[in-house]
Amino acid sequence: TCHTACLVLPVFQGKNKFSVHATGELCSLVSQLLKRGDIAGKIGESLLLPHVSHLAAERLLLVGVGNDACLTRPQYIAMLSHITEHLRKTKVKDTVLLLDEITVQERDNIWCAEIAAQVISNSLYHFDALKKEKHKRSLTKLVWQQREKKQQKNIEQALATGKAIAS
């Protein structure tokens, strides 16, 4: 159970490959959505589900990541931009990214987490220093869920670095 405003889950193209994070009822739901054609898992595709009864998350954002091959850097950044658009529209306060199984050509998970924090922070930036009414930033917490716990400290540092670069 993951208590968050928005849970981001990758969807792979093809019927036999599911995210390792999609287990039980969540795997069944993704399978049904694939069969119905609501999402195909193509790169750049996304589907926001406002409420999934068996999840502790308020929203589930499914993002297509293509087949089992590696993403290029531009594809990865474009995918992050699609995620950010949904986060901006829904004005969520926190999100959990389950993107640790996505591979990017010639890059590791630490780079992926840093770029995720940087792209999302940059995309949600709103200049209001010279305005009377200040824009309150909606997203205050970004979590990268990492299966390999030994890398979690490095991932947290990468998120902090990405956020600092964006600032």
**Across residues 53-71, what is the average pLDDT?**
86
Q: What is the pLDDT of residue 150?
A: 80
CA–CA separation, 33 and 27 (whole Å) = 10
pLDDT of 3 above 60: yes
pLDDT of 73 above 90: yes
pLDDT of 119 above 80: yes
CA–CA separation, 5 and 10 (whole Å) = 17
143 or 48, which is more confident? 48
For residue 46, the one-letter residue type is S
CA–CA separation, 153 and 19 (whole Å) = 23
CA–CA separation, 82 and 67 (whole Å) = 18
46-49 and 59-64: which strand pairing? Answer: antiparallel
Q: What is the pLDDT of residue 155?
A: 84
pLDDT of 74 above 80: yes
Query: Tens of pLDDT along 11-32?
Result: 998 767 788 788 888 888 888 8
Q: Which of 8-12, 17-21, 121-125, 156-160 has the highest mean pLDDT?
A: 8-12
